[in-house]
Structure 1
Amino acid sequence: MSDRDAMFAAAEQLGSALARQPLGLIIDGKSVPALSGKSFATVNPATGLELAQVAEGGVADVDAAVQAARKALGNPAWRDMSAVDRSKLLNRLADLIERDADELALLECMDNGKPATLTKAVEIEGSIKTFRYFAGWPTKFGGETLPVSPRSGAKILNYTVREPVGVCALIVPWNYPMSMAAWKVAPALAAGCTVILKPAEQTPLTALRLAELALEAGVPPGVFNVITGFGEAGAALVDHPGVDKVAFTGSTEVGKAIVRGSTGNLKKVSLELGGKSPQIVLPDADLDAAAASIAAGIFFNQGQTCTAGSRLYAHASIHDDLIARIADHAARLTIGNGLDPTVNFGPLVSQEQWDRVSSYVEIGKAEGAEVLIGGGRPKALGEGFFFEPTIMANAGRDMRIVREEIFGPVLSALSWNDPEDLVAQANDSDFGLSAGIWTNDLRQAHRLAGAVKAGTVWINCFNLVDNATPFGGFKQSGWGREHGRQAMELYSEIKSIWVNLS
């Protein structure tokens, strides 16, 4: 049996298992139906066909999950777990993800559409690394003793301690379902919090499986809950007075609504939001390397990436040459069902997303941009939500395709001559998540990196992330940072303790 046939056979077997009965919510360590009895379909983007029925959580289910999480927060089995044992638990969870990596990659491919081979290499392996990285933090994250000088002259001991922030609502998007869940769940559990994970309604499957693996690893009931459903469930989590923190990855519009909804009990909020990342190419850049990375930066995951390098600023002297090289990389992508190991470009996640991307291409054309390649559905693929890799040339700085996040495989290309105007254009955005700079001039590279307003700047590379380094954005790209010590701080409170030793 070929690798392709084996993959499709495994997917058929998994699909049959998913279709047997509706998948429940995970509340207090058990899989339960929604109290309303409602369920909804999750769909395979490559075929448009239903994969499974999933419980549609509502306000009452959210309340049950919050009560379970609050109870678990005070459970001695979790509250008093030693730092070493919490580290062991997170490593056991990483072991189980590694054990089931093939199944998880299939689930993600079938539910999200991205190719299974890339899903395993990026999302599943990345999630394993995330849990292993944060498994190291419980034994290293704490307070400190501080030298204070009270006016009374008394002998005072002052020290700080770190405590879990409490019950955390973790609301994650559909573009990297497993990765985004791991980015939030791992530091939250490492800090001693309890969590309620709310996956996007388009991609609930790996979230449910992750919670099952957490229970198998030994996470006490109620520590890790999952509510599947729509915006009503997410809003109920944001509004609930029993939730101490909301961590959200998604659109800037929804992020603003979360901020407004969080004011009831002034819960902590961290947000990783939209982006419109510039790719800046200087005339001395290695064009082969730049073209390959720029193509990957906009076409990987079908452009459904918050850091997608969707604005290209190429110096006028190399603009046409660079565009031709990027187009060549796009032409070599293999589009199709991600279960095929030869495919490296899958469908968009839904018909709604296909319609959004298509509408932006039409807007760009109406504004005067030229569709150089792509711009619609591949002729050979009549089913599924496939959209061609697209390059729009002659884009202008005030066009909507340059200013607004499309979240699809659409690159808007602009040329420049004046370095000062280049920086102004790159920064002329509501977003500030990331940027790419391509040059062999070290002085120029550092100057531009300092001038561009973005949370991450890549020089002669793009879309590299690591659990050790902070990730997040400026301006309307969000609040707070994922990864590293900064993530642990998001899930903790610091307490200052004063002791009079006189």
Structure 2
Amino acid sequence: MLEYDSLLFIGGKLAATASTSVIEIHSAATEELIGRTPEASPADVDAAVGAARRAFDDPKGWSTWEPRARARVLEQFATELEARADEITRRVSQQNGMPITTAAMLESALPATVFRYYADLVRITDVEETRHGLLGGRAQVRRTPLGVVAAIVPWNYPNLVTAFKMAPALAAGCTVVLKPSPETVLDSYVMAEAAQSAGIPDGVINIVPGGASTGSYLVSHPGVDKVTFTGSTAVGRQIAATCGDLLRPVTLELGGKSAAIILDDADLMSNLEGLFQIALLNNGQTCVANGRILVPRSRYEETLDVLCALVSGASVGDPLDPQTQIGPLVSARHRARVEGYIAKGVEEGARLVTGGGRPRELAKGWFVEPTLFADVGPESTIAQEEIFGPVLAVIPYDDVDDAVRIANNTKYGLAGTIWTSDEKRGEELSRRVRSGTVGINYFMLDPVAPFGGIKASGLGRELGPEGLDACLQTQSVYFATT
């Protein structure tokens, strides 16, 4: 068992905390206790924000470094993370049930790629320009780092989402106070070790694990200059209200109820892996998951057979087994929530095609069978609310206009996919889908492109140059001479 005896990563080292609150971490597959860490107290948050503030305000500190110097350190950080990839992967899989092959790609390899992307980007990004004025003078326009960034990350992709938030902030010259979710905190200690080995200056990265009260205190802290949050829409609204009152910049990546539109010319058999990824990646515990599958009536039964085989044939089991495709859910409480939605689907008249229970052969662990519902009404609960588990709702449509109407009939707008043999047709249709991201026969977040949602799916964008811009503020300096 991993125990971090009253130690939190603050100011560049594992520092003792006086907090008496303890986070206990359990294996999602065995339910056994696998680790203990302290839960950050308000005093710990004060210390972390103070350390970040000092590191930012230091006249020779991180915010004043040449971008190329910061880039070299970010690249070394990526290298140090890669050196610890096996340990990060194992800890994530144990904690949240993510299949280890998925964790190796998305929790170890891709975060390092994101840090390297921003190292490259900051080298070529102009942060100052001179503009000739219309009134006889000139203006120098500067983009400067925002300051101390509070980054609050979820349990489903803890390292990847941390990279989305931390990499552009560090590249811009900001300092960071990171709040991991209590369900997945053990991997953050590996990240702290990597930061030390990479030579990231003291106070530039600080980590304060905790629950809702810790997050609320951090969001409202007077020493914080920007908040970036990934999580539920309900919590996002609370954070937005606090930041609005404080006139504090905020980026919110929130919930989703995305739709996959399968067109009448789609070649499903050539896209089974892609369909599985958009529907069931990380056991369905994915904000961009396409939990609604829209199918033309002309191909309804055929498509239903393909999806049933895909869902029922998925390998369910130990997330540390490389053959596992579906692991357990993150907690008993979350499993109960997902099971409640399955019961609601049955109650409201949807046809349960496969799954719906717990795997009989797995006595321990928070497992739910991959579940497929057919004949789902577009207004039903399981078609409108985010389930965050391996539950798919198949909805028939009459024509393309009907499909677009159903896809857009949601309070969310985070992701979507279109499946067709004609890429041009898919591109044209994507312009009608009200969503921050759309994939055509494919979906994978790429560091070069902005990611985020509309409507109840959030505010702002992460990744791409837009992610760097969100960590900079503009200052204009006027000169009388031209």
Shared fold (TM-score greater than 0.5)?
yes
Q: Is this contact kept in 2: 1:286–1:440, CA < 8 A?
A: yes
Aligned residue for 2:151, secondary structure, equals: strand
Determine the C-alpha separation between the residues in 2 that align with 1:39 and 1:128. 30
Pick the aligned partner of 1:112 from 96, 107, 124.
96
1:85 aligns to what? 69
Deviation at 1:290, TM superposition (A): 4.2
Aligned residue for 1:392, secondary structure, equals: strand
2:53 aligns to what? 70
Identity of aligned residues (%): 39
Pick the aligned partner of 2:370 from 381, 389, 404.
389
Amino acid at match of 1:88: R
Task: Tell me whether 329-338 or 170-179 shows the greater mean CA deviation.
Answer: 329-338
Q: Is this contact kept in 1: 2:81–2:108, CA < 8 A?
A: yes
Aligned residue for 1:139, secondary structure, equals: helix
Amino acid at match of 2:11: D
Amino acid at match of 1:44: S
1:95 aligns to what? 79
2:449 aligns to what? 469
Q: Aligned-residue CA RMSD in angstroms?
A: 1.5
Pick the aligned partner of 1:321 from 302, 306, 311.
302
Deviation at 1:465, TM superposition (A): 1.5
Deviation at 1:289, TM superposition (A): 2.9
1:157 aligns to what? 138
1:411-435, Cα deviation, whole Å (9 max, x unpaired): 0011111322221111010000111
Aligned residue for 1:214, secondary structure, equals: helix
Deviation at 1:210, TM superposition (A): 0.9
Deviation at 1:455, TM superposition (A): 0.8
Q: Is this contact kept in 2: 1:181–1:207, CA < 8 A?
A: no
Task: Tell me whether 302-311 or 203-212 shows the greater mean CA deviation.
Answer: 203-212
1:484 aligns to what? 464
Within a 5 Å distance, the mapping from 1:377-456 to structure 2 comes to: 377-442=358-423, 444-456=425-437
Determine the C-alpha separation between the residues in 2 that align with 1:89 and 1:67. 22
Amino acid at match of 2:53: R
Within a 5 Å distance, the mapping from 1:35-54 to structure 2 comes to: 35-54=18-37
Determine the C-alpha separation between the residues in 1 that align with 2:211 and 2:423. 48
Amino acid at match of 1:402: A
1:242-299, Cα deviation, whole Å (9 max, x unpaired): 1000000111111001011223431110011111110001111112134442232111
Determine the C-alpha separation between the residues in 2 that align with 1:264 and 1:220. 32
Pick the aligned partner of 1:189 from 170, 183, 199.
170
1:335-359, Cα deviation, whole Å (9 max, x unpaired): 1111222222111011111011000
Determine the C-alpha separation between the residues in 2 that align with 1:481 and 1:132. 19
Determine the C-alpha separation between the residues in 2 that align with 1:181 and 1:145. 31
Deviation at 1:107, TM superposition (A): 1.2
Pick the aligned partner of 2:191 from 210, 232, 237.
210
Determine the C-alpha separation between the residues in 2 that align with 1:217 and 1:147. 38
2:477 aligns to what? 497
Determine the C-alpha separation between the residues in 1 that align with 2:350 and 2:169. 45
Determine the C-alpha separation between the residues in 2 that align with 1:238 and 1:203. 20
C-alpha distance 241-281 of structure 1, shift in aligned 2 (>3 A): same
1:59 aligns to what? 42
Q: Is this contact kept in 2: 1:33–1:55, CA < 8 A?
A: no
1:11 aligns to what? none
Structure 2 residues without counterparts, runs of 5 or longer: none
C-alpha distance 421-79 of structure 1, shift in aligned 2 (>3 A): closer
Determine the C-alpha separation between the residues in 2 that align with 1:142 and 1:162. 9
1:126 aligns to what? 110
Determine the C-alpha separation between the residues in 2 that align with 1:217 and 1:290. 40
Deviation at 1:118, TM superposition (A): 2.1
C-alpha distance 443-97 of structure 1, shift in aligned 2 (>3 A): closer
Deviation at 1:23, TM superposition (A): 5.9
Deviation at 1:388, TM superposition (A): 0.8
Pick the aligned partner of 1:136 from 114, 120, 126.
120
Aligned residue for 1:102, secondary structure, equals: helix
Q: Is this contact kept in 2: 1:173–1:250, CA < 8 A?
A: yes
Q: Is this contact kept in 2: 1:197–1:207, CA < 8 A?
A: no
Task: Tell me whether 89-98 or 34-43 shows the greater mean CA deviation.
Answer: 34-43
Determine the C-alpha separation between the residues in 1 that align with 2:241 and 2:163. 26
Determine the C-alpha separation between the residues in 1 that align with 2:17 and 2:239. 24
1:246 aligns to what? 227
1:31-78, Cα deviation, whole Å (9 max, x unpaired): 134332221201110111111111111222111111111111022142
2:8 aligns to what? 25
Determine the C-alpha separation between the residues in 1 that align with 2:440 and 2:250. 31
Determine the C-alpha separation between the residues in 2 that align with 1:292 and 1:99. 29
Structure 1 residues without counterparts, runs of 5 or longer: 1-14
Deviation at 1:330, TM superposition (A): 2.0
TM-score (normalised: structure 2)? 0.97
C-alpha distance 282-125 of structure 1, shift in aligned 2 (>3 A): same
1:6 aligns to what? none
C-alpha distance 442-126 of structure 1, shift in aligned 2 (>3 A): closer
1:9 aligns to what? none
Determine the C-alpha separation between the residues in 1 that align with 2:78 and 2:131. 40
1:147-185, Cα deviation, whole Å (9 max, x unpaired): 44434xx2x222211111100000000000111111111
Task: Tell me whether 61-70 or 325-334 shows the greater mean CA deviation.
Answer: 325-334
1:255 aligns to what? 236
Q: Is this contact kept in 2: 1:34–1:56, CA < 8 A?
A: no
Determine the C-alpha separation between the residues in 2 that align with 1:77 and 1:447. 49
Task: Tell me if 1:375 matches 2:359.
Answer: no
Task: Tell me if 1:336 matches 2:336.
Answer: no
Aligned residue for 2:438, secondary structure, equals: strand
Determine the C-alpha separation between the residues in 1 that align with 2:245 and 2:428. 43
Task: Tell me whether 27-36 or 180-189 shows the greater mean CA deviation.
Answer: 27-36
Amino acid at match of 1:214: A
Within a 5 Å distance, the mapping from 1:288-303 to structure 2 comes to: 288-303=269-284
Determine the C-alpha separation between the residues in 2 that align with 1:239 and 1:79. 23
Deviation at 1:144, TM superposition (A): 4.6
Determine the C-alpha separation between the residues in 2 that align with 1:128 and 1:315. 40
Amino acid at match of 1:125: A
Determine the C-alpha separation between the residues in 2 that align with 1:394 and 1:319. 10
Aligned residue for 1:32, secondary structure, equals: strand
Q: Is this contact kept in 2: 1:143–1:159, CA < 8 A?
A: no
Aligned residue for 2:149, secondary structure, equals: strand
TM-score (normalised: structure 1)? 0.93
